[in-house]
Structures are given as C-alpha cells and as structure tokens.
C-alpha cells in the first residue's frame, strides 16, 4: 500500500500505480492476467470512470482484462473477491486487485455528498442525513438497548490510534487519549470527530494466484480459505434493529463455513470501524462477543494488540485512514503482513488465521475474507 | 429487457427490477445466488452508488451477494462476464446479471459530462472533447486511410434503424432514409445526429447457470462458449492508428480461441455501434471483412438482416438506444432471442452461433461473448 493521507501532490492514477507496482515488486511478477480495481466513486470524486482501463494503461499492462467493481465502502473487499473469482474460474493465473480512492480532490461538501450516494439517495441522503448521522442512530440504539457508554465507544478510537501509531502507512499515526476523544468536536451526537474515520487519499494492492503457482514463487504468502459476501436493505430505516448488523452475521457465517472454521479459530481481525460504534456492532455480529458485550470487551482489552482477540492491529479506518475503495484491499494487506510475521512493533504473536471484514454504507453490503498462514 | 426510451415515469430502481423480474419469470426462478449490476455512472447520473445492494434490496433478494461492475459503456458486457465467473468459480449456481442506466434524470449537458468520464478526463474531457468528437476523429482517419465515404457511414444507420423498426423494445423503432441521415444536424464533423446513438433509460437482465442446471430447467437456453475481455490505452491519442480498434481484435481472438471457433463459424453479431464509424471499424477488427472494407460491405448488404453476416439485428445502439450500462446485457438478450428463434420479423434464419461485442470509451475496453444454441 501507499502511505495514506492528504496526497495533494499525487493523482488517482499515480497512487493506483504506486500501490500496484509495490505489490508486483513484492511478488516478483511483471505481467498479470487481469486487474480488478475497487473504487467507490471515481465519477463524483475525480470525474473519472472507466478505472479498470485507466489503471491497466498507466501500469503498462496494455490489453489486460480490467474490471472496476463497486460496493460503496466495501469496493476494496469486492475487488479481492473478484480477483479470487478470476483465479477460481480459470480465467486468470495472476489476478491483481487494486483498491483506490482519491478523495481530497473535491472540497469537503462534495466529499460528503459523494459518500452519501452509498446510502439510499432518494429516501435518505436527499432528505439531508449523511453517514455520521446514520451511524449516530445506530450508536443511540445500541446505547439504549445494551447500556453501551460513551467511554466504551471512545475506547475503540483510543485503541485504534494506539495501533495506528505503530503503522508508518497510517494517515494519523498518533495516539489519542480517552479525554481527547470524548471532548473532540461533535459531528452527529454521540459521534464526535475522533469517533469518525477521516477523508483519505490512498491505494492498496494484492496479487492472487492459484495455490499451485504460489508454491512455486518462493515468496511468503497467505491462503484465502473463506469468502463471505452479503447484501442487506440499502436504507437503514428498513431494518428492524439498528443495534445489529445482520449483513455481517450472514457474511461471517458464509466465510467461516467455506473455511471450515468457527470464530474461535480466528487469531485476529481487521474490521470496518468507519465509526467507533461500527467496530462494536461488528465484533458482536462476528460472534467475538455476545450482543451488547462489545463495549465492555473493548474496555477490558480483549481487542487490544496483546488481547485475546486483537482487532484492527493496522490502526483501522480511524487511524490508518479510509480511502473508501482502498480500505478492503488494505485490510487484506495487513492480514498478510501479520501472517508473514512482518508487522514489526504491531506484530500479533502466533498469528496464523486472520479475518477481514469490509462494509458498504450503513451495512447494506459486507465482504469477509478468511486468510491463513502457510 | 424493458422497453427503452425516455422513461420519465420510472426510476433507476424501477427499471432494474422490471428487467430482472422479466428475466426470472422467463427462467422460472425465484431466488438467485448472486447479482451483478452493470452501470457506468450511478453517481453522476443519479447520485446513487452502491447499486448492487440497491437492486438486490428492491428485487426482494435480501442477503444475496451483489456486485456492481463498471467499464464505462462496456459495463453490461462486464456484468455478464462477472456472472459467468460467479458460476465458473463455484460461488453461484444462479447468477443474475442486470445492466441498467437511467440517463434522462440529469439535463443534457450533465449527461454529456457523465459520459465524458469514460475518456481520460485529465488529458481528454478536461480540454473539451466529448465522445462525438473522439469518434469523429476515428471517422476522419478511416475516411482518409481507406476512402470510406459519408454514404457508407450513413448506410450503417439506415440498416440499424430498419432492424430496430422491427424491435418493439427499441427507443426509436422507425426506419430512416439515407438522405435523412446525411442531412441530419451536424454534431461533430462528419458525425451527424443520425450517426450517433441516443441518450436512453433502460435495463436488461440475463440469468447464468451451470450447464448441468440449465439442462434440468426445461427452458430454451443458449451456452456461452467464449469470453474475450481486453483493455487498451484510455486516451485515443495514445494509439498509433485511429482507424483501428486493437482492443476489439484482441478480445475477439481471445473469445474465438476459448470457443474453438473462427469468425467464419459465427452466424451473426450484435456490435457496439455507439457511432456509425464504430460499427465499421468493429466489423473489420472482428475479421468479418478486411481492414477498409467495412463501408463497402455495409452498402453491399453483407451485414443486413438477410445478408451473409447480419450485424445488429436488434437495431443496435443507434435505433434500440444506448443506456450505457444496459447495452452489453441487451446484446446478450438479443443473441439468446435469436438463437431461440423467437425474434419474429427480425429473426435471422438458421442462427446457431452468435457474437456480442461491447465497448468502453473510445475503445479502451471491450468484452466479447460467443453464444451457441442448444
């Protein structure tokens, strides 16, 4: 992946190619059979669609089949799934997945508008609600139903910023205190600035090959043993319980079943903490803890780097940043780095099995991958 | 497919669901395993991304994995390829591909802007050129290199409007004369209004299943035996010869090789006549005729409904309309209707093998399918 942040001196095509070249260099591969690009909205952020061809062209891979996939903020996870299908269907041996979003080329208002197109535009965004508001509704529902506290929510950000302070690619590689989170600017009650993932430019890439090919490459690799992909109603208001994310439950069940595992077999997870409340509901949906126990478990250190079930060792969306189409790919990058034992000061001990959970909108789509060390 | 046209009384979600339901009714299937939506720019046309989840939701297929794919005007062809990969990878048994674009909800200037994001925005659209201009450059190059005449170009539109006059789903189901085409309003010299495909609202859908499942369904079906997918430089100016479409040559070779066929084995084709010049260059790239012979062959009737190699029996993009993300899916729909012998007055005799060619931008991507009757 590239360094993430406000990359004013680089363009959409620059960062896509930078991440892709780093990936191909790491793998020792010059030529690929297909490219899948995960991007939420090249149209609204950059006045540029046709991103598959753009990336193939600037990567010097003329004539290579190139596909752009989109599932809002889960576009990156979808790119990895699509590359998996390229390989599993027999159409590709070397399938490159690139996630990218260049979000700072529009002004703040436009970025919020672009992101709002991940919701049900006619029934949600048109009437004025944006994503901080949607997740604030989920937070209020969770607080009311389970007694989740503001301190518990804030602890998610404290933990993720601690992890991100150990990640040189993070946009905000700085620790924050509980007090800083709890007194930061209010965005949509109870979501304050330090509960919210930022606007980010960034890209990440992974290369997928058949296992038989991977074995011959003499490079460290991880194996994708499970994929779970699900959708739900695009509008939050169509769902019965705002304090649940059923789409994550379903995707997790599918991924674990495919991998022949239970959540107890997973050593750590990268999850979609677009807002602090999201990490809490997601860990409950994955079955890491019972419903309602996400807040207390976070405060008790279960999900810390040295806890029994580390979550977001990379710093998560909160600290690492959230270039929406790149996030799902970067989750897989972090999983591979951890499984290879190359994560340095944020290395999780004896990490053998990882889960990555990427999410679109207010939970209208989710894609989960299970990766294992070899 | 839905009736195509200016569908002011229907929304993006309405027409997607209408086409999908017609498809599922035709197949006798209630529940699918995955949905792939091909759309070029929900963001710029409709302020709505996350289209996979939107369509799955409104189609009543909650929790179904849903993917949106984009390759500009080849997004529909890409949706069919993606559904093929869902089946071939073993992830889906019933894979639905829906192509949709709702283009009239923005005003004319915005539609032209949205379409221009299929080109290289920084190096093409930003400087003022739009697609009629890009294809006009290709037409001038072809005329200069091969002596292709204005009458030959106009004959493409005359033929396609004749075919479209026999297609009740077409946006403009009316015949036009050579004189009408040659005296229509100039758009970008030498491309006049009746050389250009229109702005259209529309949707189309196809269901893909493994052959073993298709045999048990007791419905007429066709088999996809070849897929060719390729990209090229996103900017036209980066290519050596404006009178060629190498991306189509490469995609055709790949599709024919996979199907174990040559172009002589193909009975008819649906091709991407976004502008009249496109059909001429595409038929040359496919190998239907030698380079430079597309114009004379069109005038001589080779590609007419009763010719030796009928092209665009549906009316093509010119007469049927061009809701960009839907076009590639509708090409496959027409191929299946013809292979089933259900095309009524536009039926091609003894049609057993079809080729569909969908294209993005000025030829920065192309996806070709070969379908065979069973």
pTM score:
0.98
Q: What band does A321 get if pLDDT is binned at 50, 70 and 90?
A: very high
- Say whether A234 and B53 touch across the interface (CB within 8 A): yes
Taking a C-beta distance cutoff of 8 angstroms, is the pair A314, A334 a contact? yes
Convert the pLDDT of each residue in A34-53 to its tens digit.
999 999 999 999 999 999 99
Average pLDDT, stretch A97-124?
A: 92
Distance (Å) of CA B136 to CA A101, B132, B141, B192, B360: 33, 6, 9, 9, 16
Average pLDDT, stretch A17-42?
A: 98
Share of chain A above pLDDT 70, in %: 99
Of the candidates A43, A45, A85, A40, the residue with the CA atom closest to the CA atom of residue A65:
A85
Convert the pLDDT of each residue in A154-211 to its tens digit.
999 999 999 999 999 999 999 999 999 999 999 999 999 999 999 999 999 999 999 9
Average pLDDT, stretch A88-106?
A: 96
In the block, tokens 């009650």 appear at A189
The pLDDT of residue B106:
86
Q: CB-CB: which of A35, A56, A117 is closest to B49?
A: A117
Cβ contacts (< 8 Å) between A232 and chain B: which residues? 53, 57, 62-63
Alpha-carbon distance of A182 to A309, in angstroms, equals 25
- Cβ neighbours, 10 Å, residue A216: 8
Taking a C-beta distance cutoff of 8 angstroms, is the pair A269, A357 a contact? yes
Alpha-carbon distance of A299 to A276, in angstroms, equals 13
In chain A, the domains with their CATH numbers are 12-373 (3.40.47.10)
Share of chain B above pLDDT 70, in %: 99
Sequence-ordered alpha helix ranges (H) in chain B = 12-27, 42-46, 51-58, 75-88, 108-116, 131-146, 150-164, 178-182, 211-216, 246-259, 276-286, 294-299, 316-320, 324-340
Distance (Å) of CA B368 to CA A345, B26, B259, B321, B323: 49, 24, 11, 19, 18
Residues 110-139 of A with CB under 8 A from B: 113-114, 116-122, 125-126
| Residue A14: partners with Cβ closer than 8 Å, 6 or more residues away | none
With a cut of 80, say whether residue B108 has pLDDT above it.
no
Q: Which residue of B has its CA nearest to A115?
A: B49
Catalytic residue numbers of A read: 73, 322
Query: Which contiguous run of DSSP H or E holds residue A222?
Result: strand A222-231
Alpha-carbon distance of B317 to B324, in angstroms, equals 9
Q: What band does B148 get if pLDDT is binned at 50, 70 and 90?
A: very high
Q: What band does A109 get if pLDDT is binned at 50, 70 and 90?
A: low
- Say whether A64 and B231 touch across the interface (CB within 8 A): yes
Distance (Å) of CA B191 to CA B153, B274, B276: 9, 11, 8
The pLDDT of residue A108:
61
With a cut of 90, say whether residue B107 has pLDDT above it.
no
Output the average pLDDT for chain A.
97
With a cut of 80, say whether residue B234 has pLDDT above it.
yes
Mark residue B332 as left, alpha or beta (left: phi above 0; alpha: psi -120 to 50; beta: remaining): alpha
Of the candidates A83, A78, A80, A98, the residue with the CA atom closest to the CA atom of residue A33:
A83
Average pLDDT, stretch B321-341?
A: 98
Cβ contacts (< 8 Å) between A231 and chain B: which residues? 35, 52-53, 56-57, 61-66
Residue B43 at interface with chain A, using a CB cutoff of 8 Å = yes
Pairing of strands A222-231, A34-38: unpaired
The pLDDT of residue B109:
66
Alpha-carbon distance of B234 to B248, in angstroms, equals 14
ipTM of the complex: 0.97
Write out the DSSP string of A145-203.
HH---HHHHHHHHHHHHHHHTT-TT-SS-----HHHHHTSPEEETTEEGGGB----EEE
Of the candidates B188, B184, B85, the residue with the CA atom closest to the CA atom of residue B135:
B188
Residues 342-361 of B with CB under 8 A from A: 360-361
Cβ contacts (< 8 Å) between B44 and chain A: which residues? 43-44, 49
Q: Which residue of B has its CA nearest to A47?
A: B117
Residues 203-262 of B with CB under 8 A from A: 227, 229-235, 238, 246-247, 250
Residue A63 at interface with chain B, using a CB cutoff of 8 Å = yes
Alpha-carbon distance of B300 to B23, in angstroms, equals 37
Alpha-carbon distance of B119 to B134, in angstroms, equals 9
Q: What band does A110 get if pLDDT is binned at 50, 70 and 90?
A: confident
In the block, tokens 């992909």 appear at A229
Alpha-carbon distance of B1 to B203, in angstroms, equals 6
Alpha-carbon distance of B161 to B176, in angstroms, equals 6
Q: Which of B109-118, B158-167, B349-358 has the lowest mean pLDDT?
A: B109-118
Convert the pLDDT of each residue in A205-247 to its tens digit.
999 999 999 999 999 999 999 999 999 999 999 999 999 999 9
């Amino acid at each position: 992946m590239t360094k993430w942040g406000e990359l004013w001196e680089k363009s959409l095509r620059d960062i896509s190619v930078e991440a892709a070249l780093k990936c191909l260099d790491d793998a020792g591969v010059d030529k690929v059979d297909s490219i899948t690009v995960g991007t939420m909205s090249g149209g609204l952020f950059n006045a540029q669609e046709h991103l598959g061809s753009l990336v193939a062209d600037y990567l010097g891979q003329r004539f290579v089949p190139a596909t752009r996939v989109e599932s809002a903020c889960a576009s990156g996870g979808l790119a990895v799934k699509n590359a998996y299908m390229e390989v599993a269907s027999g159409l590709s041996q070397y399938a490159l997945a690139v996630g990218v979003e260049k979000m700072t080329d529009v002004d703040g208002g436009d970025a919020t508008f672009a992101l709002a197109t991940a919701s049900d535009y006619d029934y949600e965004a048109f009437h004025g609600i944006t994503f901080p508001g949607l997740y604030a509704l989920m937070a209020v529902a969770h607080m009311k139903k389970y007694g989740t506290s503001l301190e518990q929510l804030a602890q998610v950000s404290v933990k993720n910023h601690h992890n991100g302070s150990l990640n040189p690619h993070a946009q905000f590689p700085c620790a924050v205190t509980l007090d800083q989170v709890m007194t930061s600017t209010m965005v949509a009650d109870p979501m304050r600035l330090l509960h919210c993932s930022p606007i980010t430019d960034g890209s990440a890439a992974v290369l997928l090959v058949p296992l038989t090919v991977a074995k011959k490459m003499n490079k460290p690799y991880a194996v994708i043993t499970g994929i779970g992909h699900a959708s739900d109603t695009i509008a939050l208001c169509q769902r019965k319980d705002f304090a649940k994310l059923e789409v994550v439950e379903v995707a997790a069940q599918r991924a674990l079943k495919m991998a022949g595992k239970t959540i107890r077999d997973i050593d750590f997870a990268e999850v979609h903490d677009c807002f602090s409340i999201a990490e809490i509901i997601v860990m409950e949906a994955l079955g890491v803890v019972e419903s309602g126990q996400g807040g207390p478990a976070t405060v008790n250190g279960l999900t810390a780097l040295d806890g029994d079930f580390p979550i977001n060792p990379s710093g998560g969306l909160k600290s690492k940043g959230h270039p929406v189409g790149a996030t799902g790919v970067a989750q897989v990058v972090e999983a591979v780095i951890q499984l290879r034992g190359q994560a340095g000061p944020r290395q999780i001990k004896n990490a053998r099995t990882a889960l990555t959970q990427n999410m679109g909108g207010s939970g209208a789509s989710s894609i989960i991958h299970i990766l294992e060390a070899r």
